[in-house]
Structure 1
């Protein structure tokens, strides 16, 4: 179990840190070509017993100004000497939800939990062949450290290869569970459609939220899938962008998608977005066809109207006609005769 020390026991702690790491002989084991030949893990209750006593990570908890202690086991399974360097690092979420380490902030009182670690004289450890070294380390919590979880890791480095061991570090005090769902959107169409959303941990403890999706269309509920098979580990202050496949997305509909996220203690958050599903390609071909059909109908209408235009009839009393060979009576050659009747010639001077 982790030990809790007060600042009054610094002298004893310093002696422990300056002591040489305990070395234990282990059986030789051939290392695979792609393996470094050494491992790093939390030390079990006794240095020799790993089966059944191994821990997957460190768990440390204490009040502000406390000094916490634990031990790391480094095992060299090869026939040559290994030199491993140790450091602490803060951990956080990547954009896609993974957990990664960050460089430690400088200064003993920095807010970055990676700067709280100390390995004393054992910061660089030389491990003989086929040997296990148990290295003590401490975590000094700053007096002004805020309560809640401070994810961290112990990083071991040798010849450019790093191995990290998670440290679940909690500062005693009030805890707050709070998260939000943001930026819900539907991307893609058909079998490639996905629902994208962002989860933000606004509390001070790590969460394992389980998102659930629901979609309502114009004609009722639309199947959109269930909960994620594995919960996401959302660290304090973490912000992750997730996507859920939606291979059964509708072809033509207006859908409101709601993402609801619950955590084990009962806290819940939700957000929604509206998406239109329109087969734009088919709509484009349909529109082009209707436009072409309308153009054809309009052209046909103008053609029919042109053919049905009425002719002008000659007025009553017209006597002129067109002469094929020389012209019309009283009119110029090759042109139609005047439509008005020719006046009668009077004999001037004759009595009537």
Structure 2
């Protein structure tokens, strides 16, 4: 049965190729889409698809690019385009600001007269735009997006914009705390990008108990792209948390080009039952302490109170009348 075996072998190779290509593909969607339309970077000079816009230049220059819009419906669509500042939400997700709040790199993007485009049914249109870098724009990464809107629906295509000049990769980790117990424990922390380039951080946890090291977490990638100047609050599972121990945790965060950042916290790990009984005992002790103090004070007051002197007994006096008996 050589033919079926060969087909099986080819099928396996095809699956392996597809999985490898998917793993090598950039994260995130290659296009923004809405009901009946799509938006994506126009193909480059080599004809290859691009997952996002990448533009770089020195301050004071004007950069150019194009966005491709496709109408897949059977009727005409009117799309509006604008630039927007990009930022990290509190949990690290990528988001864009409204038009009136985009005062950074988003405001450098201009579509001119093509800010509103009418696209016939089943038609693809390519719209040019410019990015004007202000003369005083600081060096580093300036996250932005091209936002396309139609009938109340908005979608954006990321713009990786870099202004030439010195770059600084720097981050800190702050506000470390432990939530939960046992296998469900989590370590909460805040990451702050204090440099001018986007960072792909990695986090590791080292834990030391009363009797030596306890399982922590080996270094692994944090699932967030930390944009310049942004602060995010994240949690990391800690399945190796002990059931009963007093642990010192040290978090170490690294990123390419940045010095390692560390932060430490102490955590008392105890089962819920022990914690509840310990807490109840402490509350009872706290409640009994004032009563005991009042009792001691009462006894001390009785001991120190002066005793009134006893009255002397008087001997009855007999009246002498001079009478004889």
Is the pair's TM-score, using the shorter chain for normalization, greater than 0.5? yes
Name the structure 2 match of 1:37: 36
Give the aligned partner of residue 271 of structure 2.
279
Shift of 1:199: 0.5
CA-CA distance at 1:124 after TM superposition: 0.3
1:225 counterpart SS class:
strand
User: Structure 1 residues 153, 283: closer, same or farther in 2, change over 3 A?
Assistant: closer
In the alignment, is residue 63 of structure 1 matched against residue 48 of structure 2? no
**CA shift at 1:280, angstroms?**
5.1
Report runs of 4+ in structure 1 exceeding 6 Å deviation.
286-289
Q: TM-score, normalised by structure 2?
A: 0.72
The count of aligned residue pairs is 250
User: Could you tell me whether the CA contact under 8 Å between 1:255 and 1:275 is conserved in 2?
Assistant: yes
Check conservation: 1:111, 1:145, Cα contact below 8 A: no
For 2:165 and 2:87, locate their aligned partners in 1 and report how far apart those are by CA, in whole Å.
21
Q: Of the candidates 103, 107, 111, which is equivalent to residue 115 of structure 1?
A: 107
Distance 1:63 1:105 in 2: 26
**TM-score normalised over the length of structure 1:** 0.66
- Structure-2 change in CA distance of 1:277 and 1:121 (3 Å): same
Question: Is 1:129 matched with 2:121?
Answer: yes
**TM alignment of 1:254-269, pairs within 5 A:** 254-265=246-257, 267-269=259-261
Q: Is the 8 A contact 2:64 2:130 kept in 1?
A: yes
CA–CA separation in structure 2 for the residues paired with 1:122 and 1:257: 55
Instruction: Provide the rounded CA distance (Å) in 1 between the counterparts of 2:275 and 2:186.
Output: 22
* TM-aligned CA deviation for residue 242 of structure 1: 0.9
Question: Residues 92 and 238 of structure 1 are in contact (CA less than 8 Å); yes or no, is this contact kept in structure 2?
Answer: yes
Greater gyration radius: 1
In the superposition, relative to structure 1, how do residues 82 and 214 fare at CA in structure 2: closer, same or farther (>3 Å)? same
Say if 1:283 and 1:231 are closer, same or farther in 2 by CA, change over 3 A. Answer: closer
Change (3 A) 1:127 1:46: farther
Question: Counting strand residues as a fraction of each chain, which structure ranks higher?
Answer: 2
Q: CA deviation at 1:252?
A: 1.2
- Shift in alpha-carbon separation, 1:253–1:116, aligned structure 2, 3 A: same
Structure-2 change in CA distance of 1:147 and 1:283 (3 Å)? closer
Deviation at 1:111, TM superposition (A): 5.4
Report the 3-state secondary structure (helix = DSSP H, G, I; strand = E; otherwise coil) of the residue aligned with 2:261: strand
Residues 1:286 and 1:215: Cα distance change in structure 2 (over 3 Å): closer
